[in-house]
């Protein structure tokens, strides 16, 4: 049944409106008047005016409320539909053809267009057949001659989704003509854009049958049509068709998994169809962006995919060493070389693997812990590119993550101790990614790590020196690649980092490591991930086909080539739905066409809202009746009480706990015998601070627990003794010693960590070793005491490889006589512990021209075998715990070495120039010497004597 713009699904229910007068009469009816009985005792109340009066009949406004509720319920049960665009029956005869634009432009208003198509038969007779024609081409397009019943059509339309490619109206018209179907009326639901093809298509439809058009153009910006990147960021270009008012819209920069990294604002001026959003975000964040999307707008056109050819590479950088002078570090040269074409992130190897960059570059890391080495190998085999640079650590030892076996130690070319001249870069093999590069003869290589001769070495060499020795080697590992530069990333071993050739070699190495080429002239790109009609990333189906590289630039999105990311020889390439699309608003329609705007064509089902209104009116009537009957006598009082309780509760919860939440600091008491040294700590009355926080607040010595209770007890006692001497003689006041577990505890809060190896020590886990490696790379110091005083030289370190498998050990050398450790506090000529005449080993600084004096000069790894912890050990009363070979004098020297060691770790090369102090003392005739130590006037060792103190004591002005 149709009544004007209203359709009724159950018109018989409207007969209930006839009962409204009866309901009115019933509601107005009142019960019979009560019988009057005169009671003599009530005469005393004749002069009293009653306060509560009961009306004789129901108030008119309550009657009206109840009548409206009844009317709303009756009309709601008749299932009314508001359809102003529906035509009365009989205006057009024959079947109805519904034509629907289902391309990517329709996505922002797809629900409205689908509702309009479903309501196209609301005004038609029940037996009217419906036919469907879709304008976006697909392999399984419905035949326009296929008839649908009213319910079938609604189900069919509701199952449709917009497609991520555009419409082809000419193809749709050809399919309609080929079907031979002639409709009685055509209802065209269009996206309202693309005036060139839409006008011709609408005229052809109007020539076939009477035409009604429902146009639903996008109301706001609906497409990203391109972007341009520069050194500082990205500009994203947007388009809209309604150009009337000025407006702003937000654009989000997203990762591939949908995480939003930044938001930009695009401003549209009045009358302008294009806007621009600017993204100025850090390069590291920009490298993670894979797509841009208009916030709040659905559709494939509102998403712009950013492929690898347009965005920079993501590279992770890990250094095997830390330095106080970043401009001299190897990572500085790598970072400068990568900046033009890559974004760099630095961190631990585990974090970089989790981020899955295009490549990971490691500078001078000799070996990894076994478990971490396995994880890195798995990452490489799954497609990662690992690029490594040689250095002293790799020259000393190398793991399996190298493309070819290496010889132990490095080869020095040139210098005072060699007879060879520095070599220039020679050839780049034709099969190498470096083919075609040229290197200047002035680029010299002075030192390198040599590869062992092997049959496959020729095929794995990407670059050679003039003498034919490999400069860069590479080998595939699974789906990934291992690449090794046989020189350092900095200028220590070669001049390569100073040149532009270094930049190009890194660029090509990263591309080749991912199985890509820098050039993109040939090859095939297969669909990797595609967009659906709503702009969501999905896996490609069987209809998606590869695209050749030569045709990629001219490709048009279609069912065979949907918008998405395609992977090929040069990485990923993107097909975007709105690439170079400039759709305009359709304004010219054929004469006699019935145009239905947003309000006219949209149908609304009113049954539910009317029934809801009836329920609401009944609820209001019930509350009014209860209120009039006096059922809420304490309504106001209870409300005020509840509100007061709520306010008081919120106040109590929000009030901060004063002194109970405050921390207090307990300052250390001076050292004294008879008590266990506590050295001072900070505590919280609600609980103790965690170990890492304590170490961050107060300087502490730490040791690694080995599991041997006796050895760990001596180690702790030794560090307590060293802390006591430091407290007495220096300004260093260590707090209580900590035992640490490298697997779980924070290590970076300790300046030095001690490891004393017991007999048959249990090997540390791979995780513990790798965390120690990270600690050393970040500037920490590890002191290892093998306690084998009866061994000779380097043989005392035989257990290190067993106990610390995978420790990235640099080349070691005995401490030179002029090393800063010999004068960092006391002047020493030896490093005795419990045993005398022992050598102390530190990182090698090179020889002659190759000497490396960068940074603060602190060796991150210090190894001895004189059982130093036993010589420092004290009991709870501060007395020596164990005997020392040389008696009290050797124990004193061992303690002084301990002080020098801590001062060396804490101050680095601060006392480097103190080598001149003995000569100055001799020239000035000041002070005496005891075992090579500067002495005071009383014969006791001074904390430190410098030149100004000496001159001041002589009455001479400081120079």
Contacts of 108-112 with CB under 8 Å at 24 or more apart are: 108/218, 108/219, 108/220, 108/222, 108/297, 108/298, 108/299, 108/302, 109/191, 109/216, 109/217, 109/218, 109/219, 110/161, 110/162, 110/298, 110/533, 112/216, 112/598, 112/602
**Helix/strand/coil (H/E/C) assignment for every residue in 209-263:** CCEEEEECCCCCCCEEEEEEECCCCEEEEEECCCCCCCEEEEEEEECCCCCEEEE
First to last CA, the chain: 112
| Residue appearing with tokens 């050739």 | 501
Mean pLDDT by 10 residues, the chain (959 residues): 64 79 72 65 68 62 82 82 51 78 92 85 70 89 84 86 92 90 90 81 90 88 83 82 87 89 90 89 73 92 81 78 66 85 81 86 88 91 91 84 82 50 87 84 89 89 90 92 92 89 87 64 81 92 88 86 84 82 80 66 70 86 75 55 48 41 36 38 49 88 91 93 93 92 90 90 87 85 84 55 83 85 87 87 62 61 90 91 89 93 83 60 56 38 45 46
Cα angle for residues 433, 435, 440 (degrees, 5° grid): 120
Residues 931-948, buried b or exposed e (16+ Cβ, 10 A)?
Answer: eebbbeeeeebbebbebe
336 membership: H or E segment, kind and range: helix 330-338
Residue 160: partners with Cβ closer than 8 Å, 6 or more residues away: 100, 102, 114, 134
How far, in Å, CA of 131 to CA of 143, rounded?
8
Q: Report pLDDT for 421.
A: 78
303 membership: H or E segment, kind and range: strand 303-305
| Residue appearing with tokens 């700590």 | 681
Using the 8-state DSSP alphabet, how is residue 818 labeled? T
Closest CA to 496 of 324, 314, 336: 336
Give the pair of three-digit tokens for residue 157.
Answer: 């339309």
Q: Report pLDDT for 670.
A: 38
Q: Report pLDDT for 912.
A: 61
| Helix extents (H) in 342-499 | 349-355, 370-381, 392-396
412 membership: H or E segment, kind and range: strand 411-412
Question: Pairing between strand 444-445 and 447-448?
Answer: unpaired
266 membership: H or E segment, kind and range: strand 260-268
User: Taking the C-alpha atoms of 927, 930, 934 and 936 in order, what is their torsion angle to the nearest 10 degrees?
Assistant: -50
Q: Report pLDDT for 798.
A: 62
User: Taking the C-alpha atoms of 634, 635, 641 and 647 in order, what is their torsion angle to the nearest 10 degrees?
Assistant: 180
Q: Report pLDDT for 895.
A: 94
Q: Is 880 helix (H, G, I), strand (E, B) or coil?
A: strand
Q: Report pLDDT for 265.
A: 92
How far, in Å, CA of 474 to CA of 506, rounded?
13
How far, in Å, CA of 95 to CA of 209, rounded?
11
Contact 855, 945 (CB under 8 A): no
Contact 9, 76 (CB under 8 A): no
| Residue appearing with tokens 């304490």 | 634
Q: Tell me, rounded to whole angstroms, the distance of Cα 156 from its chain centroid.
A: 42
Q: Report pLDDT for 468.
A: 87
Using the 8-state DSSP alphabet, how is residue 861 labeled? E
292 strand-pairing partners: 253, 304
How far, in Å, CA of 892 to CA of 698, rounded?
26
482 membership: H or E segment, kind and range: strand 480-485
Closest CA to 896 of 888, 947, 843: 888
Question: Pairing between strand 594-596 and 211-215?
Answer: parallel
Contact 782, 768 (CB under 8 A): no
- The crossing angle, in degrees rounded to 10, of helices 60-77 and 20-28 is 150
Closest CA to 785 of 803, 769, 806, 773: 803
Closest CA to 908 of 860, 843, 849: 860
Q: Report pLDDT for 792.
A: 41
Using the 8-state DSSP alphabet, how is residue 91 labeled? S
| Residue appearing with tokens 């005392």 | 796
Q: Tell me, rounded to whole angstroms, the distance of Cα 621 from its chain centroid.
A: 57
Residues 765-776, buried b or exposed e (16+ Cβ, 10 A)?
Answer: bbbbbbbbbbbb
């Amino acid at each position: 049944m149709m009544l004007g713009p209203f359709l009724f699904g159950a018109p018989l229910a409207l007969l209930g409106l006839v009962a409204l007068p009866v309901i009115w009469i019933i509601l107005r009816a009142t019960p019979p008047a009560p019988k009057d009985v005169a009671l003599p005792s009530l005469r005393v109340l004749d002069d009293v005016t009653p306060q509560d009066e009961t009306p004789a009949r129901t108030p008119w406004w309550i009657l009206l409320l109840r009548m409206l509720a009844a009317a709303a319920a009756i009309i709601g049960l008749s299932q009314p539909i508001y359809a102003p665009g529906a035509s009365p029956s009989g205006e057009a005869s024959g079947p109805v053809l519904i034509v629907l634009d289902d391309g990517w432009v329709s996505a922002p208003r797809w629900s409205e267009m689908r509702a309009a198509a479903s309501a196209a038969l609301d005004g038609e007779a029940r037996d009217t057949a419906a036919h469907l024609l879709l304008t976006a081409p697909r392999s399984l397009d419905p035949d326009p001659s296929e008839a649908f019943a009213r319910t079938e059509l609604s189900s069919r339309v509701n199952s449709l989704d917009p497609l991520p490619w555009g419409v082809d109206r000419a193809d749709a018209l050809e399919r309609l003509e080929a079907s031979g179907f002639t409709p009685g009326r055509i209802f065209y639901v269009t996206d309202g854009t693309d005036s060139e093809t839409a006008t011709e298509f609408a005229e052809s439809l109007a020539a076939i049958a009477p035409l009604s058009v429902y146009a639903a153009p996008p109301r706001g910006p609906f497409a990203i049509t391109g972007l341009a990147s520069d050194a500082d960021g990205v500009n994203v270009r947007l388009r809209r068709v309604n150009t009337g008012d000025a407006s702003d819209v937000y654009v989000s920069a997203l990762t591939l998994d949908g995480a939003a990294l930044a938001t930009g604002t695009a401003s549209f001026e009045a009358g302008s169809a294009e806007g621009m959003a600017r993204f100025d975000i850090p390069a590291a964040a920009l490298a993670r962006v894979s797509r841009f999307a208009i916030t709040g707008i659905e559709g494939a056109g509102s998403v712009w995919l950013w492929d690898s050819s347009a965005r920079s590479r993501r590279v992770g950088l890990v250094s095997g060493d830390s330095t106080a002078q970043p401009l001299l570090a190897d990572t500085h040269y790598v970072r400068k070389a990568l900046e033009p074409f890559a974004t760099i992130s630095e961190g631990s190897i585990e974090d970089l693997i989790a981020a899955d960059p295009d490549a990971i570059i490691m500078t001078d890391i000799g070996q990894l812990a076994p478990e971490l080495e396995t994880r890195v190998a798995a990452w490489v085999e799954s497609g990662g590119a690992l690029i490594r640079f040689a250095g002293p650590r790799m020259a000393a030892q190398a793991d399996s993550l190298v493309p070819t076996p290496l010889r132990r130690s490095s080869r020095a070319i040139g210098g005072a101790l060699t007879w060879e001249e520095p070599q220039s870069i020679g050839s780049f093999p034709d099969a190498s990614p470096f083919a075609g590069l040229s290197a200047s003869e002035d680029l010299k290589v002075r030192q390198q790590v040599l590869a062992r001769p092997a049959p496959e070495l020729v095929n794995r060499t990407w670059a050679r020196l003039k003498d034919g020795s490999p400069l860069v080697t590479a080998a595939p590992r699974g789906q990934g690649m291992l690449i090794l530069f046989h020189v350092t990333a900095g200028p220590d071993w070669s001049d390569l980092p100073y040149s532009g050739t270094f930049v190009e070699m890194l660029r090509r190495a990263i591309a080749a490591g991912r199985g890509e080429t820098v050039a993109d002239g040939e090859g095939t790109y297969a669909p990797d991930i595609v967009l659906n009609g709503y702009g969501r990333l999905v896996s490609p189906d069987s209809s998606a086909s590869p695209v050749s590289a030569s045709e990629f630039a001219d490709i048009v999105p279609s069912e065979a080539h949907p918008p998405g990311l395609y992977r090929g020889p040069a990485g990923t390439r993107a097909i975007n739905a709105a690439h170079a699309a400039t759709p305009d608003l359709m304004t010219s329609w054929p004469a006699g066409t019935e145009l239905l705007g947003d309000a006219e064509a949209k149908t609304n089902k009113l049954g539910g809202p009317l029934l809801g209104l009836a329920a609401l009116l009944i609820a209001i009537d019930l509350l009014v009746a209860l209120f009039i009957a006096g059922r809420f006598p304490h309504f106001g009082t209870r409300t005020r009480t509840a509100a007061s309780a709520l306010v008081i509760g919120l106040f109590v919860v929000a009030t901060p706990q004063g002194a109970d939440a405050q921390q207090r600091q307990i300052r250390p008491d001076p050292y004294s015998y008879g008590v266990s040294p506590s050295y001072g700590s900070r505590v919280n009355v609600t609980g103790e601070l965690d170990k890492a926080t304590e170490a961050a607040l107060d300087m502490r010595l730490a040791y690694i627990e080995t599991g041997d209770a006796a050895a760990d007890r001596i180690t702790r006692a030794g560090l307590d003794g060293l802390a006591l001497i430091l407290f007495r003689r220096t300004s260093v006041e260590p707090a209580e010693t900590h035992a640490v577990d490298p697997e779980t505890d924070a290590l970076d809060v300790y300046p030095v960590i001690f490891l004393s190896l017991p007999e048959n020590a249990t090997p540390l886990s791979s995780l513990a070793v790798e965390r120690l490696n990270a600690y050393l790379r970040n500037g920490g110091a590890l002191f290892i005491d093998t306690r084998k005083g009866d061994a000779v030289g380097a043989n005392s370190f035989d257990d290190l490889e067993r106990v610390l498998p995978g420790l990235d050990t640099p080349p070691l050398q005995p401490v030179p006589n002029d090393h800063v450790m010999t004068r960092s506090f006391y002047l020493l000529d030896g490093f005795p512990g419990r045993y005398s005449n022992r050598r102390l080993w530190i990182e090698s600084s090179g020889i002659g021209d190759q000497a490396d004096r960068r940074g603060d000069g602190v060796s991150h790894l210090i190894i001895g075998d004189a059982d130093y912890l036993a010589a420092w050990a004290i009991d709870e009363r501060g007395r020596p715990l164990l005997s020392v070979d040389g008696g009290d004098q050797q124990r004193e020297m061992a303690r002084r070495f301990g002080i020098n060691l801590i001062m060396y770790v804490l101050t680095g090369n601060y006392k480097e120039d103190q080598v001149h102090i003995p000569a100055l003392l001799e020239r000035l005739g000041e002070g005496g010497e005891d075992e090579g130590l500067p002495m005071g006037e009383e014969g006791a060792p001074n904390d430190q004597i410098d030149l100004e103190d000496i001159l001041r004591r002589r009455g001479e002005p400081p120079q």
